[in-house]
Amino acid sequence: MRNLLILFILTFTVLPLGCRAQYAPVKVDISTEIVTIQGVSYYIHTVEKRQTLYSISRAYNVTPDILVSDNPELRQGLKEGDKIRIRRVTDYTSPVKETPPVKQVIVNDTVSPVRIQAEHIVRWYESLSSIAKKYGVTEEEIAIVNSLIGGKIYTRQELRIPYSGEAQRFAQDKNVPLNPVTEMEVEEPDDDKKEERKRDPASRRGSYTASLIIPMGGSDSASTDHISGNFVEFYQGFLIALEDLKNEFIGINLELRVFDSDRVSASEIALRGDLKGSDLIIGPVLSSQIEPVLSFAYENDIPLVSPVDPSGDELSERYPNYFHVGTPVTYQQKALIESVSDSGNIVLVFEEGGQDSEFVQITRQMLQDAGLKYKTLSYTILGGRAILPQFENRLVKENINQIIVASNSEAFVSDVLRNLNLMQSRSGYSIKLYGTPRWRHFDNVDINLYHSMNLSISLQYYVEYNSDNVKRFIARFRELYNAEPTAYSFQAYDVASFFLAALYSYGTDLEKNIGKYDRKLLQSDYRFIRRNGDEGFINSGVRVLKYRPDYSTDTGSSGR
């Protein structure tokens, strides 16, 4: 029995982010040299400096995995001067540009008992079904030609892929049974069966369908190279999570459908009905593209996850099937305020007339809701050292001073830290500092002050690189892709690991049980709650990062 089924897989070789920033994309010209091999026409392309598998496949309007299948040597890497075969493809949404008439070279077919269209090396995430769909043949045909017993395949196995119809002739010549693979028919449920499925999710025996919608660079219309590159890295992290789930849940039967929203827009994917039959939809990744798909998902009773974009949480007000992974600012600040002690002296500091007035109001509300008494201090940085006496008047020496700075301005925060450092070093005040996530990205602030004042920050994402799970993920990512995982890679792993495991655990009762589901992730903590009791789901989970005087840091999860 197959454990993991992936219908549409794109695999990319990409440059590290630093390289993409350093070099402009290299133009790839369509070759005028064409040959025909066993009835299939190929361009012969000579690889030029800095061209990549991704850029070449995009220029010729084919997927990278087709390039690798036709040129197995590419598994060892792409080198300048290599000559590779690229099949001519005409059935994509964006047809290949016409080239001037050229002389074609006919290569005679090799004598063989069966005509073979390709030799395919099995990857760890593939199944016999996904390979058959890729080449337009049946599982039975591949099994016959390769003498597979029970339809079983294994990683790195080399399979001969016949042309459609060739396997029957081969079977007759070799007296091979015509039914070596047991076919499983999946029936599209009608409304009555859908209701029955809701009442008894266990009856599906762990068989589920998830759809992933991400921009993969299939055309120039939907996203930039930078955005598509980010989501190649997202997809790579997603695949590692799939493999881990297959190992964790023995017998899981998960069908993953992957849609390139650069090739076909997200709204068109929904309108065409391609997402029907999904038990879960992950994506689109941009909030501006979500609502058409979300509307379809709502009408068809399918949960939809917004996996990346921090905006778009307002959609949860209208769609009860919507999961927004990004944690709203109110919940980030709520988690931070929950770590403030009610026995200390609390001072709220903010910039007078600054741009963070809404954030200041949120912080005030959180303090009020928590029943905490506090003092306030607001000033402009033009006040300079003149503000020091007013600052000191709000501090106490007999207790810890908990200073909450509601500002994202690096200049203002620098001034606050300077004043606090003076009072701490000269007068011996005990200070515990609370800041915002943006402080981690300041360039001109002395980080030593974060440690000396025991800074706490509430974060949506934080990777603890000393974690065994994180170390394992990084090692596997390097091994598989010869690159370093990015924040997108970590995010994809967390999204796939959490939601697909929850889908397997709860089936179509996922929405009823997601609030109590807990799972250890790499860079996030997911704590989903319904907005206003009956609307969509928002994530209240955060990690509170604490800077210690010994220059260490640690985190704690919050938000449940």
Indicate whether 420 belongs to any domain.
yes
What is the four-CA torsion angle of 491, 496, 497, 499, rounded to 10 degrees? Answer: 120
Answer whether residue 130 shows pLDDT above 80: no
Q: Which residues contact 21 (CB under 8 A, 6 or more apart)?
A: none
**63 in the same domain as 31:** yes
**Which pLDDT belongs to residue 124?**
53
Look at residue 172 in the predicted model and tell me its pLDDT: 59
Q: What per-residue confidence (pLDDT) applies to 225? A: 45
Residue 555: pLDDT band with limits 50, 70, 90: confident
Q: Give every strand in the sheet of 83-87, ordered side by side.
A: 83-87, 40-46, 34-37, 104-107
What pLDDT does 21 receive? 34
Residue 100 lies in a domain: yes
- pLDDT for the residue numbered 428: 92
Residue-wise pLDDT for 451-475, tens only, equals 999 999 999 999 999 999 999 999 9
> What is the average per-residue pLDDT within 421-449?
94
User: Are residue 381 and residue 435 in the same domain, yes or no?
Assistant: yes
Whether residues 44 and 156 fall in one domain: no
Q: Do 341 and 413 fall into the same domain?
A: yes
Residue 517 is predicted with a pLDDT of: 94
- Domain membership of residue 371 as a residue range: 331-459
CATH of the domain at 159: 3.10.350
Cα 496-499-504 angle, rounded to 5 deg: 110
Cβ pair 423, 388 in contact under 8 A: yes
Please write the tens of the pLDDT for every residue from 41-59: 888 899 887 676 666 877 8
> 422: domain CATH number?
3.40.50.2300
pLDDT given at position 145 = 82
- Same domain? For 118 and 101 the reply is no
Domain stops at, among 459, 481, 498:
459
pLDDT tens-digit series, residues 191-218: 333 333 333 444 444 589 999 999 976 5
Residue 280 in contact with residue 503, Cβ under 8 Å? yes
DSSP 107-140: EPPPP-SS-EEEEEEPPTT--HHHHHHHHT--HH
Q: Residue 486 pLDDT > 50, yes or no?
A: yes
92 in the same domain as 116: no
Cβ neighbours of residue 400 closer than 8 Å, sequence gap 6 or more = 341, 344, 345, 430, 431, 432
Residue 480 domain-assigned (yes or no) = no
SS3 351: strand
The predicted structure's pLDDT at residue 338 = 93
Question: Pick the residue with more confidence: 345 or 3?
Answer: 345
Q: Which of 14-18, 22-26, 264-268 has the lowest mean pLDDT?
A: 14-18
φ/ψ of residue 233, rounded to 5: -65, -35
Q: 3-state class of 530 per DSSP? A: strand
Residues 9, 67 share a domain? yes
User: pLDDT at residue 402 above 90?
Assistant: yes
Distance CA 27, CA 15 (A): 15
Whether pLDDT at 96 is above 60: no
Structure confidence by residue, pLDDT tens digits, 388-401: 999 999 999 999 99
Q: Say how many C-beta atoms besides its own lie within 10 A of residue 156's C-beta.
A: 8
pLDDT by residue (tens digit) across 264-308? 888 888 888 899 999 999 999 887 788 889 988 988 899 999 998
Do 335 and 453 have their domain in common?
yes
pLDDT at position 5, please? 40
386 falls in which pLDDT band (50, 70, 90)?
A: confident
User: pLDDT tens digit string along 406-417?
Assistant: 999 999 999 999
On whether residue 270 sits in a domain, the answer given is no
Task: Tell me the C-alpha distance between 511 and 503, whole Å.
Answer: 9
DSSP three-state, residue 315? helix
Domain count, the chain: 3
Tokens coding 411: 């200049």
Give kind and range of the element (H or E) at residue 156.
none
Q: Percent of the chain at pLDDT above 70?
A: 76
| C-alpha 91 chain-centroid distance | 29
Q: Look at residues 107, 127, 159 and tell me which one is the last residue of a structural domain.
A: 107
| pLDDT tens per residue, range 369-380 | 999 999 999 999
- Is residue 447 predicted with pLDDT exceeding 90? yes
Q: Counting every residue, how long is the chain?
A: 560
Asked if the model's pLDDT at residue 337 lies above 90, the reply is: yes
The one-character DSSP state at 49 is T
Domain boundary among 119, 149, 174: 174
Predicted confidence band of residue 99 (pLDDT cuts 50, 70, 90): very low
Compute φ and ψ for 522, nearest 5 degrees: -85, -50
Give yes or no for residue 229 having a pLDDT over 70.
no
pLDDT value at 69 more than 50:
yes
The residues, any chain, with a CB within 8 Å of residue 545's CB and separated by 6 or more, are 440, 456, 457, 458, 459, 462, 553, 554, 555
Same domain? 99 vs 114: no
Radius of gyration of the chain (CA): 28
- Residue 234 near residue 277 (C-beta atoms within 8 A): no
* Residue appearing with tokens 């002690």: 341
Among residues 4, 39, 231, the alpha carbon closest in space to that of 123 is found at: 4
Average pLDDT over residues 481-485: 92
In this prediction, residue 182 has a pLDDT band, given cuts at 50, 70 and 90, of: very low
Please tell me what DSSP assigns to residue 31: P
Structure token pair of residue 400: 């810890």
Same domain, residue pair 53 and 121: no
Q: Are residues 119 and 97 in the same domain?
A: no
**Rama region for 484: left / alpha / beta (φ>0; ψ in -120 to 50; rest):** beta
What rounded mean pLDDT belongs to the chain?
79
- The reply to whether 411 and 335 lie within a common domain is yes
* 299: CB partners within 8 A, 6+ apart: none
